[in-house]
Amino acid sequence: MSDHATGKIEGQVAIVTGGSRGIGRAIALAFAREGARVAVAAAHESGALRDVERELSSLPPQALAVVADVTRRAEIDRLVKKVVESWGRIDVLVNNAGILRPAPLESITEEQWDEMMAVHLKGTFNCTQAVLPIMKRQRRGKIINVAAPSALRGSFGVADYAAAKGGIIAFTRNAANELKSYNIQVNCISPVADTRMTEVLTAFRGQHLGGSPGQHGVVSPDAVAPVFVFFASSDSDYVTGQILELSRP
């Protein structure tokens, strides 16, 4: 992909799911500052979505905020259609939507397990598959998935979450292999950022493990965003199928 000098992703069109707050909001704002038109999507919190849309609109590129549940394919198809009708293309997809409901392994219900797989794994699949016809026609695209360190190392109270994120890692590597001939790069970032999810997890572990475990290695969402910009830009044209873990030493 060729970028203009004024921004690493100047003129490109990006979709960021889970964009109403936290990492998603930081990514969307970073993309806009680099010249991209950004569509942010979330299943709920339409008020928070509108707030992000207003923040984005204060920057030069255009912005869209769309309420869309990644587990419902019809809603994602409508999101993609709206973006294409508005801007004619899709260059970048960030599969960031996620949930976390910490629980000891024996306490995870079948309903919770299914919900976790649906939001993280099915959601990533739905959004990726929905943008592929556009990216294949363009013969270029960037897909950035979001995993978690627990998917590779294991952790306490997140067996369902970690399993779903592990599936995303496998999906990333397979999609990268299948789509490389179309000049579509698929990569995965595994951040530990200071969000509501990490706050909930820290409180849960303090309750079950005792003491004050803190948030070791946690960085701010704004510190994570530049790495997403790298994977969205032409700087990563020869990088695909990679899993990058981000945390403070």
Q: Annotated catalytic residue: which of 161, 204, 228, 231?
A: 161
Amino acid code (one letter) for 41: A
The set of residues, in sequence order, having a beta carbon less than 8 Å from that of 219 and lying 6+ positions away, is 191, 192, 193, 194, 246, 247, 248
The DSSP bridge pattern shows strands 92-95 and 63-67 to be unpaired
Smallest Cα–Cα separation from 240: which of 172, 165, 140? 172
Please give the Cα distance from 161 to 155 (Å, whole number).
10
* Residue labelled with tokens 């695209």: 141
Q: Where are the beta strands (DSSP E) in the chain?
A: 13-17, 37-42, 63-67, 92-95, 141-146, 184-191, 243-246
The set of residues, in sequence order, having a beta carbon less than 8 Å from that of 45 and lying 6+ positions away, is 20, 21
3-state secondary structure of 64: strand
Smallest Cα–Cα separation from 94: which of 234, 233, 192? 233
Contact 245, 190 (CB under 8 A): yes
- Phi and psi, residue 214, nearest 5°: 70, -165
**161 is a catalytic site residue:** yes
Q: Which residues are catalytic?
A: 161
